[in-house]
A and B are shown apart, each in its own frame.
Chain A
Amino acid sequence: MITREDVENIALLSKLFVPEEELDGLTRSMQEIIDFADAINNAPTSGEEFDNINNLSNVFREDEVIPSYPVTEILKNAPEQAEDHFLVRNRE
């Protein structure tokens, strides 16, 4: 059972601000999401341990260097940048 406190706590951990008037709606939505996941969890299976849809394991890459991206490309989507760094402003 999802409570308003769960939603408040998750918002806090995710550094999101949720206005008071949206709390009830979000609590209901989240409950629906969890119920949907539970429905999948409760679906009948053969009982074999299910790992992934393609039954893949041991997908690796070799330890070989691939050239990195230019710093301009890396910073292209940064909301703010300075001196070739991502810049995170202090909001307090």
Chain B
Amino acid sequence: MTYELVSGFETHIELSTKTKIFCGCTTQFGGEPNTHCCPVCIGLPGTLPVLNKEVVRFAIKAGLAVHGRIADVAKMDRKNYCYPDLAKAYQISQLYAPLIIGGYIELSNGRRIRLHHIHIEEDAGKLIHRHGDTYVDYNRGGVPLIEIVSEPDIRSVDEAKEYVEKLQQVMRWVGISDCKMQEGSMRCDVNISVRPKGTEAFGTRTEIKNMNSITNIARAMEYEYERQVDLIESGGKVIQETLRFDDATGTTSSMRSKEDAHDYRYFRDPDLVTIHVPREEVEALRAEMPELPSEKFERYTEDYGIPEKDAALLTKYRSISEYFDSAIEGVKSPKTVSNFIIGQIFRRVETEADKEIFDVAVKPAQLNELVKLLDSGKIRNNLAKSTLEKMLDSGKGALEFISESDMGGVDEAALLELCKAAVEGNPKAVEDYKNGKEKAIKALVGNVMKNSRGKADARAAEEKIAELIRNA
């Protein structure tokens, strides 16, 4: 029998506000243990949490970025559980009236992963387990999170990877989080079940907690899928349980024992008043939203004819797409600009971190000027390429490297003269070419390019030289 994977994600994203969700302590990552704390975020009795307005604004932006509906009324609830990562023995979260309802992430195969809701909540402290004891650092306690809860719409490991990447991309794009999985500012709980292909009913699911890299999400899902299928095939039953993934062995194992079965006894937090979201505020935030990566992707592929693969690279980070948008102003072929960026410029911007910042020596206006020279036929492609290299080396504009005499290219008669000179001056290369060494012609073309100072059209020169040798 063939099986189908069914998966839904709960994704926690730390918001990049300056302060925590209910107090004025900094949200800066790291720091000496327990130095970003106050009586509110360590949960001392008698303290009163007050909601950070920016958290609400950021969460609304997140909601708008994934096409969610912003609730008119939202409330905070207490989720009760006894564990040292929470000083109060409850986490302030949202269950009954979350801030964002619905929404979706659209994948490249056209499928939409629907979202159930997005809620705001506080992060827990960090636990360090050593010699059987637990050391608690509450610096992270109270850092604002959004939890994005998807419907069980994911059907393969590839879809899961793309879902996480797209969430990460769009949340960074709208500037609400840096979504660094390695620093824990983005973490996923993966719900996974299997069912015979073609059937509707869901199988029993397990939940893999706290995944902090896309690679591990894929490994854990592959392992868990196989484990569940093997279990069912051998006549067993999947038990609903919470699992942890072991990075070293690539396997999952049970995390909680039975007596810890969740009963969070959620109830309205009496310390925090109702949030009414004025429509004008939502509309003001909507007006501030940048063009989203999915919208840019559509514009690039449909209006400019840029291949999907290239459009995906241009829209991976907001800074690259903004560079591109400003470099294509008034040019005939945006595709040429795209090729320069993805080819020569990307070669100089190697790491993902640098790509995200995209601080390139050649400014968009300078690339724009170069492409316009090419557009107007004043220079040839090969001269444009070599000029771009010099521009990248120096940060100077195109006209620093292209003289008046370079412009206008090389006419037919001049090209013929140059080719003749190359053939006559290099009998060895001509002989090699005649003897079947096809590459030898490159030396002759090189000679033409050198003597025309890069102005000649290399392809035309190659054709002309081949013709000259044939007819000699």
The stretch of B26-34, B345-353, B356-364, B369-377 in contact with A is B26-34
Q: How many CB-defined contacts (below 8 Å) exist between A and B?
A: 114
| Structural contact, B136 and A58, CB atoms closer than 8 A | no
| Structural contact, B275 and A64, CB atoms closer than 8 A | no
Q: Is the interface of B mostly helix, strand, loop or mixed?
A: loop
Indicate if A1 sits at the interface (CB-CB under 8 A): no
Contacts of B55 in A (CB 8 A): 63
| Structural contact, B25 and A59, CB atoms closer than 8 A | no
Show 26 residue pairs from A and B whose CB-CB distance is below 8 angstroms, ordered by the A residue: A9-B263, A13-B82, A14-B82, A15-B82, A56-B273, A59-B50, A61-B50, A62-B53, A63-B17, A63-B18, A65-B24, A65-B26, A66-B38, A68-B37, A69-B37, A71-B33, A74-B42, A74-B138, A82-B135, A85-B33, A85-B136, A86-B84, A86-B138, A88-B135, A90-B133, A90-B134
Contacts of B51 in A (CB 8 A): 59-61
Most buried by B among A12, A68, A82, A84: A68
A14 to B81, alpha carbons, bound, how many Å? 7
A86 to B18, alpha carbons, bound, how many Å? 25
Interface size range on B against A: 35 or more
Interface size range on A against B: 20 to 34
Interface of A toward B, CB cutoff 8 Å:
9, 12-15, 51-52, 56-66, 68-71, 74-75, 77, 82-90
State how many angstroms separate the Cβ of A59 from the closest Cβ of chain B: 5
State how many angstroms separate the Cβ of B239 from the closest Cβ of chain A: 21
Indicate if B470 sits at the interface (CB-CB under 8 A): no
Indicate if B19 sits at the interface (CB-CB under 8 A): yes
Interface residues of B in 118-171 (CB under 8 A from A): 128, 132-138
Contacts of A66 in B (CB 8 A): 19, 23-25, 38
A64 to B52, alpha carbons, bound, how many Å? 9
A77-B44, A83-B135, A84-B34 known; 4 new pairs, CB 8 Å cut-off, are A58-B273, A87-B133, A88-B135, A90-B134
Nearest to B55 among chain A residues (CB) is A63
State how many angstroms separate the Cβ of A67 from the closest Cβ of chain B: 8
Most buried by B among A13, A51, A70: A13
Contacts of A77 in B (CB 8 A): 44
